[in-house]
């Protein structure tokens, strides 16, 4: 699996949670792989540390990592180049969550303003789903990371204009990832 990112978990924003770090991995897409969008499809994994790992893992010094496509001298096509990025995101202040039934009465301008405030890459807050509302399972889930594939400086395949969502269970013991696209 390709290492995508690690997220320091702010215990004040995500209490109660004993994990201090979440690591996101997605199956390397050298070949077409089905199911990376599914939280329980086996083609993505979130590891919480410290904590119990719910997926089989191997300790490797090196593995597939992020890359960006760059032009190289004497090459006709773009080629992948490994890359690393570091960002410091703080939990944002989204507008208050509004139930879908209440949104149905909004005019287009009101909805656009609300959706615009929820868009983009962020830690915590309210997810803005590309398709239907989709949480990774029963019970209550909190958004840990929203990752917009169209606005990151590296190559990641979440389909056409896709957005990835990493969620923490209410008790903070389980994390799951899914993505949606147009």
- The residues spanned by each domain of the chain are 2-72+79-180
For residue 79, is pLDDT > 80? yes
Select the highest-mean-pLDDT range: 74-78, 105-109, 166-170. 166-170
pLDDT per residue as tens digits for the range 24-51: 999 876 655 678 899 998 899 999 998 6
For residue 54, is pLDDT > 60? no
pLDDT per residue as tens digits for the range 89-139: 555 556 555 566 566 677 778 767 777 777 788 888 889 899 988 999 999
Mean pLDDT over the full length of the chain? 81
Q: Of 33 and 12, which is predicted with more confidence?
A: 12
For residue 176, is pLDDT > 90? yes
- Sign of the torsion formed by the C-alpha atoms of 94, 66, 28 and 47: negative
């Amino acid at each position: 699996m390709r290492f995508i990112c690690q997220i320091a978990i702010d215990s004040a924003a995500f209490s109660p949670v004993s994990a201090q770090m979440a690591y996101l991995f997605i199956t390397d897409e050298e070949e077409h792989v089905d199911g990376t969008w599914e939280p329980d499809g086996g083609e993505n994994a979130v590891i919480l540390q410290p904590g119990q790992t719910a997926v089989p893992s191997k300790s490797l010094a090196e593995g597939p990592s992020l890359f960006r496509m760059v032009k190289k001298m004497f090459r006709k096509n773009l080629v992948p180049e490994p890359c690393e990025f570091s960002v410091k995101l703080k939990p944002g202040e989204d507008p208050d969550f509004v139930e879908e039934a209440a949104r149905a009465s909004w005019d287009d301008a009101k909805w656009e303003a609300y959706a615009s405030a929820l868009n983009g890459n962020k830690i915590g807050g309210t997810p803005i789903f590309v398709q239907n509302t989709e949480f990774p399972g029963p019970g209550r889930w909190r958004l840990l990371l929203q990752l917009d594939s169209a606005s990151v400086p590296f190559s990641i395949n979440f389909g056409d204009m896709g957005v990835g969502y990493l969620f923490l269970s209410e008790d903070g013991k389980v994390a799951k990832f899914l993505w949606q696209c147009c």
